[in-house]
Structure formats: structure tokens, C-alpha cells
Amino acid sequence: MLTLHLSPATSSMAVHIALHEIGVPFETKVWTLAQGTRTPEYLAINPAGKVPALVVDGTLITEVAGGLFYLAKRYPEAKLLPANDPLTEARAVSWMSFLASTVHPARAKGMDALAEAWALAEKKFGEDSKGRDWTLGSYSIVDIHLFRLYWRMVNTPGDRPTGLKGLDGHYAYMMARPAVKKTIDVESKIAR
């Protein structure tokens, strides 16, 4: 059994999208911002007090990259990561590490850091996608992770970096995906 502990419109959205892409049964447990993830109840599930927390038959998987990688490998028929391709898997890990360590924390460092991180992501996307729609050439967990961070930037009021033509195109392709639409619809109906 799969259980996703999530907070709407947070990093857990990426794992939520992947679960909808795969189409397997799962349950969600919602932890709103008002409840917080630092309550004793949630800390008993994930001592780090962060989402996502994906529980697989009683085993906890934390962090976006961990949840996405598990789902891609466990459900290869969903084609969220090319099978038996160590080079592409390494590129996926590289991308997700970059997103978690460079792009995700940039917002808290101010507009200059945010613009620099997204400019670097734009350059990396152009080089890796080679003009195709998807980061690794075909749709993958990297696209889901990248989208979630870009979605947050696009949907946060205030100034944001501009001139990100490749990433803007990627965002549009992602917004057209049924799993993305479904996830946004579900999460928008949950009170924060």
C-alpha cells in the first residue's frame, strides 16, 4: 500500500503528480499549513517534519527525489525513467540534486539568487533537452520535479525572473498533462 503525506502546493506535489501518472491506487494524508508538519503526530511519521513522506508498505521514503526515484523504478511501465540506462539515470540524479540544492533554496536568498538559479536551469534545460520538450529527451521524473518548482515560482505573487523561454515552454507542456491537471485540481480544493 502507498500512502502519500502531503501539504497542498508544496514539494509533495511532485510525488502526487507521479502517483497520478502511474495510475496505481494510493491514499493521501493531508497536513495543511495551518496544522503544520511539526506536530507530534506528524513527527511520528517523519521525524524531519517535511513533506513529502511516502510510506510504502510501512517503510518511509522522504524527499522529493527519493519518492520520485522509487516510483519510477518500482513502476517501470509508466516510463518515468528510461529502464536499464545508467547514463540517463545518472543525469536524472544530477538534475534532481541540482533542483534540490540550487533551485529550491534560491527563493529564500532573494531575487538575484533566484534569477541566477533559474538562468542556470534554463541553460541546463537547453543543453540537456537538445530542443525537445522534455529534460532528458523523453518525459521523466525530472520533468515532474522541475515543473513543481517552476509552478511555485509562476504562482507566487511578486516579481520573478523572465526570459526563460525553454522553461516557459516546458511549463506549458506540463500544464497540459492530465496527471498535472488532476493533481492541481485535487490540491486546490484542500484548505491550506
Confidence (pTM)? 0.96
- Which residues lie closer than 8 Å to 64 by C-beta, 6 or more apart? 11, 12, 14, 15, 52, 96, 100, 145, 148
- In terms of DSSP bridges, do strands 27-30 and 59-62 run parallel, antiparallel, or are they unpaired? unpaired
Yes or no: say if 140 and 83 are a contact pair by the CB < 8 Å rule: no
DSSP letter string over 74-114?
H-GGG-SS-TT-HHHHHHHHHHHHHIIIIIHHHGGG-HHHH
Helices 111-129 and 141-154, axial angle in degrees (round to 10):
150
Per-residue confidence (pLDDT) for residue 186, from 0 to 100: 96
Give the Å distances, CA to CA, from 35 to 14, 32, 184. Answer: 21, 5, 20
Question: Three-class SS of residue 2?
Answer: strand
Per-residue confidence (pLDDT) for residue 191, from 0 to 100: 67
Show the domains of the chain with their CATH numbers. Answer: 2-78+179-188 (3.40.30.10), 86-177 (1.20.1050.10)
Q: Which of 138, 133, 161 is nearest to 79 (CA)?
A: 138
63-95 pLDDT, tens digit each? 999 999 999 999 999 999 987 899 999 999 999
Whether 27 has a pLDDT exceeding 90, the answer reads: yes
118-136 pLDDT, tens digit each? 999 999 999 988 888 999 9
